[in-house]
Each structure stands twice: as C-alpha cells, then as structure tokens.
Amino acid sequence: MKILHIIDNLSMGGGQNLLIGLAGIQKKKGNEVTVLALEPCNDPLVRNKIEAEGVKVEVLTSKIKLRNPLQISLLMPWLKKCDIAHVHLFPALYWVGFAKLLSFSKTPIVYTEHSTKNRRRENPVLRRVDTFVYKYCYNKVIACADKALETYKQVYPSVKQVCAINNGVDTAMYWKAEAYTKQELLGIPEDCFVVTMVARFMFMKRQDTIVEAIKKLPSKFHACFVGSEPTDAGLLKVKALAEEMGVSDRVHFLYLRSDVPRILKSSDVVMMSSEYEGLSLSSIEGMAAGKPFLATDVNGLREVVKGAGELFELYNSDELAKILQRLESDKQYYNDMVIRCRKRASEYDINNMVNQYMEVYKEVMKKLQVH
C-alpha cells in the first residue's frame, strides 16, 4: 500500500512523535510510506528519526507560508501519488481537504484528531468550516482517544464517519532504556529526587506549576524539562520564573533531545501539568519507563493515568508538592505506583495502534471500491 502522511511541520510535538512510530512500523510491514511536511523545520531531530526508519521525507515548499491557501494547489498532485493520504494537524486539515475537493480526487483521505480541544471549536464560523471539511472531504476522522471521540461528537454531531484509535508507544524501548547517572545527566548527586516533564513550552502545558511545586519542596527535589529550543519564548518565561523564585539551580532545561527514553529512565517521577491533552504519549512513555506518573486531572490525561498514577488539581502546586513529598518518603507507595503504571502502559502498545490504523485504511478503500 502507498501511504502518504501529510503534516504541518516536523518540529517536535505529540503529533510528530506519533508519526515517527506509525510511519516506521508501516514501512516495516512492507508498505511504501512517505511523509510530506507542508513547511520546513530548522530542527532536524524528527526528520532524522523518520528517515532512520527507512521512510522518505519530503517538504511541500519553503516559499509559501503554512497558513497560505496557495498550499492547496501544490498539494493536488500529491494526492495522485498514493493509495491513501493520512493527514495530521491544522491547517493541513483544511488544505488537504480542499485540495481533494478542488481536484476531484478519488484518493481516500483520513485525519487524526490529536487533541480533545482547540480554539477553532470555540469560534462558531470556524466550527462550521470544520464540520464541512470533516463531512465532505474526509473518508474517516480518527480521534486519538475515547475521550477525544466523546468531545468530538459533542462539537460535531453531524459528522458520522468518526472512530477512536488510542495512541500507542514502543513500550519495550522505554522499559529497556539504559539510565544515566544523575551526575551525568544533570550534574547533581544521586540522592536527589528528579521529576521530569517532556513537552513543548506552550501556554497550555503549564510547566510553571512544577516550578512552583519545586519552590515548596526541600533542596533535594529537582525538576527536569525536555522540549523546545533554547530561544523559545515559552521556555524563557519558565526559566525566568525559576530564577525569580530562587530555584534556578534545581530546575534543569535539556531542550530538544533524541535520548528521551534514557532521560525518563534516569528520572524518579515523570509528569504532565497540562490544561488539556489528546491522549498524551508522554504519559504512556513515562509509565513504560517504569516510573510513577503524575498528571493534572484533565481530559486526555485523566483517562490514561486514573487508577495507575496520581492525578492532581490543575494549577495546584501545593497538592503536587505533597504527592512528590510522599513519593520520595514512602517507598511502598512509590513501588506500588510503578507496578500499576507499567501495567497501564502495556495497554497502549504501538503495534496495536498501527494494526488498527491499517484496518481503517482498508475499510475506507474498500468502501470507495464498492461505490
């Protein structure tokens, strides 16, 4: 099968991270897989990871900006080169959909909804445009989690060709990763207690909650952030907060890294402090590494973490600090959570996810042949 994945760009993020694993395994299963990014990316990390899987990577154009509708005309020929196109993120959602309509393409296209929330849903006009695109351009819309499907149906009740496929990760890779010493990774003593978050520094990720919790804890507690470039505005804001609170020596920024499994394995706790998620790959990765996982009690995290890790109230650094303190002092509490988290991570193995996507591809292609 000739599979074309189309995505906005290849900067590190949840959608891109999912694509690395999905495209790589599809290639190993004997498919011809290409990834098309609508715009170039200065950081080669994601592209290198995809190409290392034997998947071809192309860039649509470096001359037209991502949100320019002229992208539509450039996409039209690409839809003739594949058996199925799989679209990720916005505005690729619009541009590929309109390219299909305007070119009268018979190529089936599917879209993965990577989040439970976005700003377009709050805008009545864009919500109508979304509904039109989903209904008349896409053969299938795939929510990344059961909760994402539930909220999607509430916002777009007239869109019927929708299903859910839970995100998955290569759980074995995270469990088998070789840990760094804390001295190697962060330059701190081994008896320090390190809590790690892997995410870009976007406002809704709320890394500031973790910095505030570190301020309230003894000096052996450290925070480690992985994600975004050193010049990223969001990262610089969190770094300034750490300095303002007098904990800059206990808050570490590792920026974009290719060795995330080893970093997670070197941590004591992994967590997410987001306002919302789709189905957080970072949460599954942290649990797969054999670490207790903490998360805000919000959509996209609650479904994965509840009953395995520990949930805390959004923005509540006091509650977070208390949980971290207990994990450090109560070994039974810590070890029990590790066992539950590992078991939960096994439910999100990437091979299950890939098999489900392949079944969706076959289903939509078969329907088109019938009609």
**Higher pLDDT pick, 260 / 62:** 260
For the chain, how far is it from start to end, CA to CA, in angstroms?
A: 20
How many Å apart are CA 159 and CA 181, to the nearest integer? 51
List the domain boundaries for the chain.
Answer: 2-168+350-370, 171-348
pLDDT of residue 370: 57
Helix 317-329 crosses helix 331-345 at what angle (to 10 degrees)? Answer: 110
Same fold, 2-168+350-370 and 171-348: yes
Unique residue bearing structure tokens 């450090």 = 328
Residue found under tokens 């994601």: 46
* Residue 371 pLDDT > 60: no
Looking at the chain, the whole-number percentage of residues with pLDDT higher than 70 is 99
The CATH class given to the 2-168+350-370 domain equals alpha beta
The candidate with the shortest Cα–Cα distance to 14, out of 161, 145, 179, 178, is 145
Instruction: Please say if the pLDDT value at position 56 is more than 90.
Output: yes
Architecture of domain 171-348: 3-Layer(aba) Sandwich (3.40)
pLDDT digits (tens, 9 = 90+) for 143-168: 998 888 999 999 999 999 999 999 99
